[in-house]
Structure 1
Amino acid sequence: MLTASIRPATIYGAGDGMMTMYLTSQALNGRAKYRLGTGPYLYDSTYVENGTHAQMLLARALVKAAASAPLSADTKVEGEAFFVTNDEHIPFWDLHRLVAEVAGLPIKDEDVRCIPIWLVMTIVSFAEWTYWIFSLGRK
């Protein structure tokens, strides 16, 4: 039996119960104006139909590979992993602002509040050590 793996980026679209709902909830609660760090962290997502199309192409390729002699290394699909995205790289935090704008709550550049990464890492480290101390190192 031949297998391969499809690895989509975050999926959105019809039937999406996570990404769209989460980003919309963040926008409606006024949290879309906060961002961690100032870097231009690029992000890519996958529309659900693009993920389905990739699965269909992979299924066809696996059937073709099973029905013929072993394929050459440049056309081999079995045992491989394929990353699937829309190939639309946008800054991660702009995605939150885009959803907020679509929800009718646009955020101006001057309203965005950046939380420095060093501050976030300090708080997380403190919380981790506090948890470790109070769990007596068992967790």
Structure 2
Amino acid sequence: MVQKLDHYLVIGGGGFLGRVIVNQLLERGDTVSVFDLRRSFEDPRLSEFIVGDITSPADVLRACEGKTVVMHTASPPHGLPSSAYFKVNVDGTKNVIRACVQAGVSKLVFTSSASVIFNGKDLINGNEELPYCDVHMDAYNETKALGEQAVLSANGQGGLLTVALRPSGIFGPRDMQGILAMVRAARRGQWRFIIGDNQNLFDMTYVDNAAYAHVLAADKLAPDNGTAGEAFIITNDQPTFFWDFPKILHHELGYRGTQSIVISRPIGMLLGSIADGIAWLLRPIKEIHPNISRFRVQMVTANRYFDISKAKQRLGYKPIVSLQEALRITAEHWMDFEAK
């Protein structure tokens, strides 16, 4: 009997992480389709680029038909109203699950977040045995947890095998959120400031490593090897003092003498509280997202690093690009971007 070749569908395949997953699959010769809100790129190697909305059950079912492996990477960017995250990360994910079962998809890989177990307090060598937060720090993390639970609970439905990956702090070229914010901060001269004493360790994940983990998870996903119905934390496996990360990036961008002004954590929390209060007062008129908030101060001053032994042992994962090399590549991309 001839084994049927896999046909991959990357939901959100035009996005930051999804695009890299698509490229890695295409580079090894797989049959790949993309499902996204808009046609953001052209590649003759693609089987098809399906334009549609994850919140539309009909669009999602149309995209899943004829596919054997679905990778669901779609999620709204940070800074949107809470309703956007519930609509996409929860309702949209449930649409994906139903469509996969109805279309006879055999594997579903879901992009979750390491923050589903982070509540702002120190997280040291966190692993998959830790429970979800009772109270999440924002709607993004709350809805990622709800979406992950739905995906893992669906394992076995109609023969569908599911797995969830929890990357920590994805960054890299084309990162229009975290890295772009750091680049803009450097342009404004804000590379001189840090909050806290920089003694807290943090885990980041280069986008190529996160994508590689998704491909590995799809390849390894089977009912008898401890992957189906499981979540896996993914990092670069190089915990780094939090402010060392932007310091290296800024140095790669050509800035020197960085981080010369230190704002203590208590002062940072006070400033964050004031900014949160102003945002709350203005909410009836206009929703704003200040550069500083209590949430952000908690994020940049807490330990937040993980033990990825489970991913190493069951997926065979190990980073393919080091943190230093990843930061060099990322800075090089942004220097080229600015030059154009």
CA contact (8 A) 1:8 1:84 kept: yes
Are 2:261 and 1:113 equivalent residues in the alignment?
yes
Cα distance in 2 for residues equivalent to 1:115 and 1:39: 11
1:51 maps to which residue? Answer: 210
1:85 to 235, 238, 254: 235
2:125 maps to which residue? Answer: none
Q: Give the counterpart letter for 1:98 in structure 2.
A: I
SS of equivalent residue, structure 1 residue 24: helix
Over the matched positions of the two proteins, sequence identity in percent amounts to: 29
TM-score, length-scaled by structure 2: 0.33
Cα distance in 1 for residues equivalent to 2:256 and 2:219: 44
The Cα of 1:92 is off from its aligned counterpart by: 0.9
1:35 to 194, 198, 203: 194
SS of equivalent residue, structure 1 residue 6: strand
Which gives a bigger RCO, structure 1 or 2 (Cα 8 Å, sep 6+)?
1
For residues 62-121 of structure 1, give each alpha carbon's deviation from its aligned partner in whole angstroms, at most 9, with x where no partner exists: 2x32xxxxx2xxx4111211111111111111112112111111125xx61111111122
Cα distance in 2 for residues equivalent to 1:16 and 1:130: 28
The Cα of 1:45 is off from its aligned counterpart by: 1.3
Counting matched residue pairs gives 125
- Shift of the 26–79 alpha-carbon distance from structure 1 to 2, 3 Å rule, reads same
The Cα of 1:35 is off from its aligned counterpart by: 0.8
Are 2:249 and 1:99 equivalent residues in the alignment?
yes
2:272 maps to which residue? Answer: 124
5+ long unaligned stretches in structure 1? 66-70
Greater radius of gyration (CA): 1
The Cα of 1:20 is off from its aligned counterpart by: 2.3
For residues 10-59 of structure 1, give each alpha carbon's deviation from its aligned partner in whole angstroms, at most 9, with x where no partner exists: 22224322232221111221111211111411122111221111111111
State the superposition RMSD in angstroms: 2.5
5+ long unaligned stretches in structure 2? 1-159, 284-340
1:11 maps to which residue? Answer: 170
Moved over 6 A (4+): 130-135
TM-score, length-scaled by structure 1: 0.75
Q: Give the counterpart letter for 1:82 in structure 2.
A: F
CA contact (8 A) 1:27 1:96 kept: no
